[in-house]
Chain A
Amino acid sequence: GAGVSQSPRYKVAKRGQDVALRCDPISGHVSLFWYQQALGQGPEFLTYFQNEAQLDKSGLPSDRFFAERPEGSVSTLKIQRTQQEDSAVYLCASSGPGSSYEQYFGPGTRLTVT
């Protein structure tokens, strides 16, 4: 079946621009996670949704980062007034009932802030 999809795959933004990154989870998966991965490092947790409820946003690095999942399916991660340190790969993962908490990742969005 279809896996997690993310768009765009690549995004170049000028410093100060706003960006929106989209994640479409595996059908039926109630849990959705966003991670940020810097080059040469492991992914780091940003935020977590169960259906439409954002249960944990402790990993969001600043108030410029905002995530939503209004209908409990597709999620959008928005970054306002992008800075160079926001350059990273943004990964979305989903997990569903019966999967024993296994998270499956999408291809990621590589964000470059110039």
Chain B
Amino acid sequence: QKEVEQNSGPLSVPEGAIASLNCTYSDRGSQSFFWYRQYSGKSPELIMSIYSNGDKEDGRFTAQLNKASQYVSLLIRDSQPSDSATYLCAVSSAGNMLTFGGGTRLMVKP
């Protein structure tokens, strides 16, 4: 069974700090990796995608992928209270279905 694991949190960080969110996956055939943000009562919103080993930066967000360790992470710099949400890690193979982790709840305290 393909699994994606995340710490459920909550992860609490002060405003302005770096939030580090982690995810591991079991299927070595996974090719595409995504981070979604989900506010309470809303649907998942795509914030980052990464396909090759290394780092990918987009504004305050950096996604990191290590396929050898089967590990994906998301760093949020200069965290803001508006970043408080659940962050979902998702993986897929060959453009097919997404397998999601259970999500990590992030709380950014002013």
Contacts and interface: CB of A to CB of B under 8 A. Distances in A.
A101 to B, nearest CB: 4
Nearest to A45: B97
A56 interface: yes
B98 interface: yes
A45 B1 CA distance: 13
Interface in A32-46: 33, 35, 40-45
B69 interface: no
B45 A48 contact: no
A33 B98 contact: yes
A108 B38 CA distance: 12
A40 to B, nearest CB: 8
B97 A104 contact: no
B97 A56 contact: yes
B96 A102 contact: no
A108 B36 CA distance: 15
A35 B97 CA distance: 9
Contacts of A41: 102-103
Contact of A59 (B34, B45, B97): B97
Contacts of B32: 100-101
Contacts of A101: 32, 49, 92, 95
B29 interface: no
Contacts of A91: 43-44
Interface string B66-110: 000000000000000000000010101001111111110000000
Interface of A: 31, 33, 35, 40-45, 48, 56, 59, 89, 91, 93, 95, 100-108
21 contacts: A33-B98, A35-B98, A40-B102, A42-B103, A43-B44, A43-B100, A45-B98, A89-B43, A91-B43, A93-B98, A100-B32, A100-B49, A100-B51, A101-B49, A101-B92, A102-B46, A102-B49, A105-B36, A105-B43, A106-B43, A108-B43
Pick the 10 closest A-B CB pairs, nearest first.
A42-B100, A101-B95, A45-B97, A105-B43, A108-B43, A101-B32, A105-B44, A42-B102, A43-B100, A107-B43
